[in-house]
Amino acid sequence: MRNSAAALKKLESVSSSMAIEDIFLPKEFIEKMSRLADGKISMDEVIFQLNEEYNHG
């Protein structure tokens, strides 16, 4: 199992650092990365979802 607490802390850190520069991550992206950190979805699933979104959306 992944160390989801550490991964979530890194995600929060990156998101906060970007917000300081007025760059905001979409809520959907943060939720997707949180599910990835928790092991609820795999990186392959994230890649597939992104391909679907940008190739068909």
pLDDT tens figures, 3-48: 678 888 888 899 999 999 999 999 988 888 888 888 899 999 989 9
Q: What angle, rounded to 10 degrees, do the helices at 4-20 and 27-37 form?
A: 160
Q: What is the pLDDT of residue 57?
A: 57
Which domain covers residue 34, as residue numbers?
4-56
pLDDT, residue 17, reads: 94
Domain count, the chain: 1
pLDDT at 51 > cutoff 80: yes
Q: Give CB contacts under 8 A, 24+ apart, made by 18-21.
A: none
**Rounded Cα gap, residues 26 and 13, in angstroms:** 15
